[in-house]
Amino acid sequence: MAKLPLIDVTLRTNYSPHVVILGAGASRAAAPTGDRRGNRLPLMADLVDVVGLADVLDGCSLSWRGKDFEALYDGLARDPQHAALVACLEERIHRYFASLVIPDRATVYDYLLISLREKDVIATFNWDPFLMQAYRRHASLRRLPQVLFLHGNVAVGVCHACRVKGPAGDSCRRCGESFQPTRLLYPVASKDYTSDSFIKSEWDALRDHLENAYLVTIFGYSAPATDAAAIELLREVWSRNESRELAQIEIVDIRDEEDLRAAWGPFITRDHYHTTRSIHETLIARYPRRSCEAFAWATLQCDPWPDNRVPVTDSPSELREWVLPLVAEENRQESRRAPFSGLPCDQLAGWAR
């Protein structure tokens, strides 16, 4: 059952989660000129060309040029005579995405991961491995947000028997069996988020967090018609959130505000939303690891906290070092029940030692 914001005034803490939903635009923003080797990140509109599927599709009798790839896949997957073709397409797509490597420089995924904490969640529709690769290079922080993969991911494997996920290629620590790849492609006319145990568990976790969220950031997700089932699931869960009258929705996208307002109107309460083209202009970047607290104290307590903007840098390690005072403050709260100060990092630097 949804609950009102879990605010502890004494500890100056808002335990309600910040939910971040990622679409393909987020991964394009992470690697706008390609991955570490210069390989392009495909979108559905150019997937056939980028991945190199034309030779496979030319071998079938269907007219495919100019068609949306998901719609094309939907038609192929429903016809048993195309089973071999479908298997070939799936294998090539998985192989291409699995070959991508996150750039060495800091990306938007590095900023997101170091700027959220355990109560928060990043839910992605993307297949590429960038988010998991960024997660691994910041794993030493320990206090990282939960990560959910709503459409599967090439960097994630799953043990269905033990209901455990982990890095692709690893083995389940419970039974020792190798993790199985997660499924990526589904017929668009009937995307089923319940029959696959892994996908169902990811969506169940998102439902729980979204129903109790205080802030929602939608980054590079266009809410395409092919994701109608997903959008309805999100809308239905958000409608049960008892704090949505107070909550804020942020939309990071290159589209005009009018288009974004039209696309996400059912999720927006009055004027409780903000649009921007840059992750650096969000509450996440202004109040890293304290976004829900800062927003709640400003709107409910009339006690705005000073900005504590994440520095813009190309160095992932510099980002990690910069955020350590905030992590130290979290450790201090947990061990000594000390309240959050609301102070920026430069005034907390001594606490990192």
Give the count of alpha carbons within 13 A of 243, CB side only. Answer: 28
Alpha helices (runs of H) in the chain, residue ranges in sequence order: 24-30, 47-51, 54-58, 69-77, 83-99, 108-114, 130-137, 197-211, 228-238, 257-264, 283-286, 291-300, 316-336
pLDDT of residue 350: 64
Which structural domains are found in the chain, ordered by start? Answer: 7-31+103-151+188-346 (3.40.50.1220), 47-99 (no CATH), 152-185 (no CATH)
Got the DSSP string for 81-125?
GGHHHHHHHHHHHHHHHHH----SS--HHHHHHHT--TT-EEEE-
**In whole angstroms, what is the distance from residue 26 CA to residue 150 CA?**
15
Whether the CB-CB separation of 297 and 342 falls below 8 Å is answered with: yes
pLDDT of residue 277: 94
What 3-state class would DSSP assign to 275? strand
Q: Are strands 215-219 and 248-252 parallel, antiparallel or unpaired?
A: parallel
pLDDT of residue 190: 67
pLDDT of residue 19: 97
pLDDT averaged per 10 residues, the chain (length 353)? 72 96 94 95 88 85 73 83 90 96 97 98 97 97 96 94 92 93 79 83 95 95 80 89 90 93 87 93 97 96 95 97 95 94 87 51
Dihedral through CA 158, CA 164, CA 165, CA 171, nearest 10? Answer: -70
User: What burial letters (b/e) apply to 9-25, b meaning 16+ CB within 10 Å?
Assistant: eeebbbebbbbbbbbbb
pLDDT of residue 18: 97
CA angle 48, 53, 54 (to 5 degrees): 90
Whether the CB-CB separation of 142 and 114 falls below 8 Å is answered with: no
pTM, whole model, 2 decimals?
A: 0.93
pLDDT of residue 302: 93
Q: How far apart, in Å, are the Cα atoms of 84 and each of 57, 62, 75, 88?
A: 12, 14, 14, 6
Nearest to 31 by CA among 126, 108, 89, 117: 108
